[in-house]
Amino acid sequence: MVGDGAATLIARACAESGIGQRADALDRFLEAYRRRLLMHTRPYPGVAEVLTTLGSRATLAVLTNKPLAATREILAGLDLARHFSVDAVIGGDGPFPRKPDPLGLQHLQTVTNVPASSTLMVGDSLIDWRTAKAAGTSICMARYGFGFEGFNPDALAPGDLTIDAPTDLLRVS
């Protein structure tokens, strides 16, 4: 049921359980989520080391549909925030439309001074792929991510990549 945002998750869960969706269901879910952000959240193995290495040779940014405050809390709680400048983290509740709209990614390209031709978006879902394509960038699809299951690899274009573990990013030139 996970994917496509909290509102969709709540709608799916209510439909699956056969109960009607209460008007305050999304607000209640978001509050419960906020209280438990770091309870079971862990980075994939090798992510911290990969970010350290990549940060020495590239500009790193985060574009997510998660709320910005939750994103910042997760990054800080996992000691990953140090890899991203404050203006290079964009959440889904900010001034830009949510992915797959390319405006958030294009803004990151502007503030980091990295052109679309030099940008590689790393993601795991059809939404991420659509975002990269709409912004005119290449994408690296993480096959280990929860969103990859529904993605058709035939959609990848020349210059697009797939990886099976975060450490595979270290081989990307």
pLDDT tens, residue by residue, 31-87: 998 899 999 999 999 999 999 999 999 999 999 999 999 999 999 999 999 999 999
Q: Which of 41, 46, 43, 42 is nearest to 166 (CA)?
A: 46
pLDDT at site 118: 95
Classify domain 47-171 at the CATH class level: alpha beta
Is 137 in contact with 119 (CB distance < 8 Å)? yes
| In the chain, ranges of CATH 3.40.50.1000 domains | 47-171
User: What number is the average pLDDT over the span 104-127?
Assistant: 96
Is 65 in contact with 71 (CB distance < 8 Å)? no
pLDDT tens, residue by residue, 126-149: 999 999 999 999 999 999 988 888
pLDDT at site 15: 87
The one-letter amino acid code at 163 reads I
Tell me what the pLDDT averaged over the chain comes to. Answer: 92
Whether the bond between 100 and the residue before it is cis, its omega within 30 degrees of 0, is yes
The dihedrals phi and psi of 39, each to the nearest 5 degrees, come to -60, -45
pLDDT at site 100: 96
pLDDT at site 110: 96
